[in-house]
Structure 1
Amino acid sequence: MGLTKSENRSRIRRRIRKVSFGSQERPRLSVFRSNKEIYAQIIDDTTGKTLASASSRDKDLSDVKGTKTELASQVGKTLAKKALDAGIETVAFDRGGYQYHGRVKSLAEGAREGGLKF
């Protein structure tokens, strides 16, 4: 019998995490996407600490109207602003097992527009 959608995503995620590792100089930008919301955080894997985070549920993004893809772009820009304020310029992108398409791509492009490099 084949794998379910979530089992397949978990397998892809494990494969990605073997190569993607966040350090102090280049932390990891991790993305989680639910059906309604999108979350992103910048993580230093050596210490296990979250350095910056943003989501579509943040209070400053609650007044933003539009599609989920447009909201994901705003989340990326907000995360980039928080990261630059914390002194982070380059990150390693971890798409979390999701395809680089739609909301995940929009978040990444928003973060690039905000000034992050990956």
Structure 2
Amino acid sequence: MHKKTVSRLRRARRARMHMRKLGAHRLSVHRTPQHIYAQIVSPDGGQTLVSASTIDKDLRAEVSGHRGNKSAAELVGRTIAERAKAAGIQEVAFDRSGFAYHGRIKALADAARENGLQF
């Protein structure tokens, strides 16, 4: 693995261990050049409760063209917040998976906050 990837995974692991101590639901985000994924994981880390991504059939129609941009990330953030509220989840800890809180990651987080998730 590249040094950059190893560093990102180390940052992610450190943050996840802290979230596990808190015992909070975790909003985990992963990004690739073409897609962005979000899922809410149970406090013990053993079960995915809610998920949304740009590869979902529901969202694919709404995201036109390239799915790896900020508008697609905002749509995923809005969708994950709506699905979380439907599942009875309001408070989460934001797990950026070691990625910088900037660009698409920030857009997803802001959209999730605006639609009712608290973190």
TM-score by length of 2: 0.88
CA RMSD across the alignment: 1.7
Tell me the number of residue pairs that the alignment of Structure 1 and Structure 2 aligns: 114
Residue 75 of structure 2 is matched in structure 1 by 74
- What SS does structure 2 have at the residue aligned with 1:90? coil
The amino acid across from 1:79 in the alignment is: I
Regions of 4+ moved over 3 Å? none
Which among 57, 70, 80 is matched to residue 55 of structure 2?
A: 57
**Residue 46 (structure 1) aligned with residue 44 (structure 2):** yes
Residue 4 of structure 2 is matched in structure 1 by 5
Shift of residue 18, structure 1, vs aligned partner: 2.1
User: Structure 1 77/36 Cα, relative in aligned 2: closer, same or farther at 3 Å?
Assistant: same
Residue 27 of structure 1 is matched in structure 2 by 25
Residue 92 of structure 1 is matched in structure 2 by 93
Residue 111 of structure 2 is matched in structure 1 by 110
CA distance in 1, matches of 2:14, 2:45: 21
Sequence identity percentage? 49
Note the residue ranges of structure 1 that are not aligned, 5 or more in a row.
Answer: none
Shift of residue 66, structure 1, vs aligned partner: 6.5
Shift of residue 48, structure 1, vs aligned partner: 0.8
Note the residue ranges of structure 2 that are not aligned, 5 or more in a row.
Answer: none
- What SS does structure 2 have at the residue aligned with 1:88? coil
Shift of residue 45, structure 1, vs aligned partner: 3.2
